[in-house]
Amino acid sequence: MTSFENETVPGRLLNQPGRSKADRVADLQPLLPKGAVAPATGDLVMAAPFNAHDHGYGVRTLDFGGIDDALEAWIPSLRLRPRTDPYLETLVAFGRMAKGGIAGAIHCHNSLNVDRMVDEALAVIRAAGDVGMRLGLSCPMLDFDAWAYDGGPERLKPFLSQADWGDLSQTIPRYAPVEAQIAAVDAVAAANINSLVTVQYGPIGPQWCSNALLERIAEASALNDRRIHMHLLESPRQRHWLDRRFPQGVVTYLDEIGFLSPRLAVAHGVQLRPDEYELLAQRGVQLASNPSANLRLRSGIAPLREAVARGLWFGIGLDGTGMDDDQDLWREMRVAYLLHGGRELTRGFTAEGLFNAVTSTAAHIVGAPEGRDQVVIDYTGLTKDSLFGDVDEAEVLLVRMTAGHVRALYVEEREIVANGKLVSVDFEAARRELMDQARADLPRLQQERGRSRALAEATRAYYAGW
């Protein structure tokens, strides 16, 4: 494996018959940046993976009481996110990813306040720069149907007590005009001086965006050549509502307004139909699939294998969770590999396609070049009991690899992880400071907890009638 030009799966060139493991490992050294410490005998070097969809939770959702639930009933738990410094929040989130060998990520920012957008975005960009990773910064945009599809907050009023509605109605989001939202994203892009960061339009999802906003984003993206990152058809309730709102189909509508293009990546896509993923593939749109998040929030299993067979490019995203709530992209790859393996004698969803997804397509989704960043893996630790030395490395990684086997990570020829630790950030000190800030917000969160639960149960009751 002396280059990434023709091979996207680690180990394909390393498994040439008759070559010893020592010879194969020697081939890896030219992949590293000049001056990098030579990997130990038995280490494996490969193109670093990218996280194609995330939300930058330094304080993870379970830690503030966000117990897994159906998506719409789970969303109210985000009201319990502690108020913390956005720089520190994302510094911890990005540090956690980098320690696991992730070279870059899409960060779907969570603030909905346009007035704070530029300041918060620059803090996030600074955090990515301090860690040293690449970033696609998706700036949030929405102006429609908060809390409940097909009518907004008022739809939940019959399911809430008068006291709860009185309190909650004071927190109904107020949205900035369409042009102000476009201008805010463009201002973030103009202020960004980090060459490893791309700024993207981030309509949160068509169910939360007016037609006017979606159409204006499509126009601005074409004009500015700026990427778009958007959730699409994640839950069954979204499918139901969007089919009513767009009788021709939401994907067809998006195509009609010029929204679909190679500049667009859509996340989840669990409820996509065959004609829809064929149209997305024809338009060059990429899918960021999030297997564990889809399972944890009871959205289902995306038709990823069928979509890929029809030409849809995809990446894998952690969505702030992961199977073990640990932001481990290697485990997430394993979940995807097992979920979509099928039942046939010959596997259609291949290791080669999966590694290409996380190193190439996901890099494109982030807005990064592919093959420029490398991760060094303790391959000996993965194979210490192996009887044969020629098992395909890709298969070994998909069965056993975890973030804990990452030795080093190089991004743009800069070492950002060495011996499993961040080079330029004291991760544990940052995490402790972040948790101190979160605990300082506990008095407010204790008061908010009852309202969050009331809103979740009202949401559940509302959709139960659909």
* pLDDT at residue 10 in the model: 44
Task: Examine the pLDDT at 443 and tell me if it is beyond 60.
Answer: yes
How would residue 289 be classed by pLDDT, with cut points 50, 70 and 90? very high
How would residue 43 be classed by pLDDT, with cut points 50, 70 and 90? very high
6 close to 337: Cβ distance less than 8 angstroms: no
pLDDT tens sequence across 370-395: 999 999 999 999 999 999 988 999 99
pLDDT tens sequence across 320-340: 999 999 999 999 999 999 999
Domain range enclosing 331: 49-370+426-464
How would residue 31 be classed by pLDDT, with cut points 50, 70 and 90? low
* pLDDT at residue 21 in the model: 47
User: For residue 375, is it within any domain?
Assistant: no
Task: Examine the pLDDT at 400 and tell me if it is beyond 60.
Answer: yes
Neighbours of 256 (CB within 10 A): 14
The pLDDT > 70 percentage for the chain reads 92
User: For residue 61, is it within any domain?
Assistant: yes
Q: What is the mean pLDDT of residues 265-279?
A: 97
How would residue 35 be classed by pLDDT, with cut points 50, 70 and 90? low
> What is the bridge-based pairing of β-strands 104-108 and 50-54?
parallel
257 close to 217: Cβ distance less than 8 angstroms: no
Cα separations in angstroms, 196 against 134, 313, 367, 408 = 5, 23, 9, 19
User: For residue 351, is it within any domain?
Assistant: yes
**What's the domain count of the chain?**
1
User: For residue 443, is it within any domain?
Assistant: yes
Q: What is the mean pLDDT of residues 270-276?
A: 97
Task: Examine the pLDDT at 235 and tell me if it is beyond 60.
Answer: yes
Q: Which helix (H) or strand (E) holds 49?
A: none
How would residue 98 be classed by pLDDT, with cut points 50, 70 and 90? very high
Q: How far apart are CA 255 and CA 249, in angstroms?
A: 10
User: For residue 151, is it within any domain?
Assistant: yes
Task: Examine the pLDDT at 23 and tell me if it is beyond 90.
Answer: no
Q: Per the structure block, which two tokens stand in for 428?
A: 């544990």
267 close to 235: Cβ distance less than 8 angstroms: no
Residue 95 maps to which CATH number? 3.20.20.140
User: For residue 39, is it within any domain?
Assistant: no
* pLDDT at residue 8 in the model: 38
Q: How far apart are CA 351 and CA 330, in angstroms?
A: 13
Q: Could you tell me where the beta strands, DSSP code E, fall in 94-133? A: 104-108
How would residue 279 be classed by pLDDT, with cut points 50, 70 and 90? very high
* pLDDT at residue 212 in the model: 98
- Flag the least confident range among 81-95, 111-125, 345-359: 111-125
Q: Which of 70, 138, 132 shows the shortest CA–CA distance to 103?
A: 132
Q: How far apart are CA 277 and CA 269, in angstroms?
A: 9
When the pLDDT of each residue in the chain is averaged and rounded to a whole number, the result is: 92
Residue 104 dihedral angles phi and psi, to the nearest 5°:
-165, 165
User: For residue 91, is it within any domain?
Assistant: yes
* pLDDT at residue 135 in the model: 98
Neighbours of 158 (CB within 10 A): 10
377 close to 407: Cβ distance less than 8 angstroms: yes
Angle between helices 427-440 and 442-464 (to 10 degrees): 80
Neighbours of 194 (CB within 10 A): 15
Residue 357 burial (10 A CB sphere; 0-12, 13-18, 19+): buried
* pLDDT at residue 30 in the model: 52
Residue with tokens 């896509």: 269
pLDDT tens sequence across 174-206: 999 999 999 999 999 999 999 999 999 999 999
Q: What is the mean pLDDT of residues 140-144?
A: 94
User: For residue 365, is it within any domain?
Assistant: yes
